[in-house]
Amino acid sequence: MAIKIRKAEEKDIPCLLTLLDTIRELHHKGRPDVFRDNGTKYNEKQLKEKLNSPEEGIFVAYDGETFLGYICTVIKEYIDHNILLDKKVLYVDDLCVIEESRGRGVGRMLMDEAKDFAKANKCVSLELNVWKFDGSAEGFYRSYGFTTMSRRMEYRLY
């Protein structure tokens, strides 16, 4: 079957919650000093709100009835900031593809959909954060054309 990308709907929430838990596990393994070993980034109510927000774009990938992954984005606008120029960007909050479908172009298709959403909303760029422990995600973003804009560093006291 052909992979299809579409805007997420309420019926996708159970699949979204499952992949959000996959991401939480990955982050907890990578930085257990930062991420909890339980909980969820967004609950069902928060996802419903995001699905109905014009500033947020959540897109899902399916192959027939099989859920393959999703991308969650939000428009951020910087206006009259003290030092930054005015700009509107699309922030990629999450991107996750089920393990069995990685390498099939699903992530690229989801990112393309986010890029189209950004252009339709007159955003000047896509931005995201990637954790240092997640080398495969960083490699994917670099292969897509993302470049490092800044680095966040820490000096641990405990």
Domains of the chain: 3-144 (3.40.630.30)
The token pair at 130 is 């990637």
Which residues are paired to 3 by β-bridges?
A: 63
Q: What are the tens digits of pLDDT across the range 59-110? A: 999 999 999 999 999 999 999 999 999 999 999 999 999 999 999 999 999 9
User: Residue 39 pLDDT > 90, yes or no?
Assistant: no
Distances (CA, A) of 112 to 10, 43, 48, 60, 117: 22, 26, 23, 12, 9
Rounded to the nearest angstrom, the gap between the alpha carbon of residue 65 and the centroid of all alpha carbons in its chain is 22
* Mean pLDDT of all residues in 17-36: 94
User: Residue 1 pLDDT > 80, yes or no?
Assistant: no
The residue type of 1 is M
Least confident of 35-39, 53-57, 75-79: 35-39
Q: Does residue 94 contact residue 20 with C-beta atoms inside 8 Å?
A: yes
Buried b (16+ CB within 10 A) or exposed e, 18-47: ebbeebbebbbeeeeeebeeeeebbeeeeb
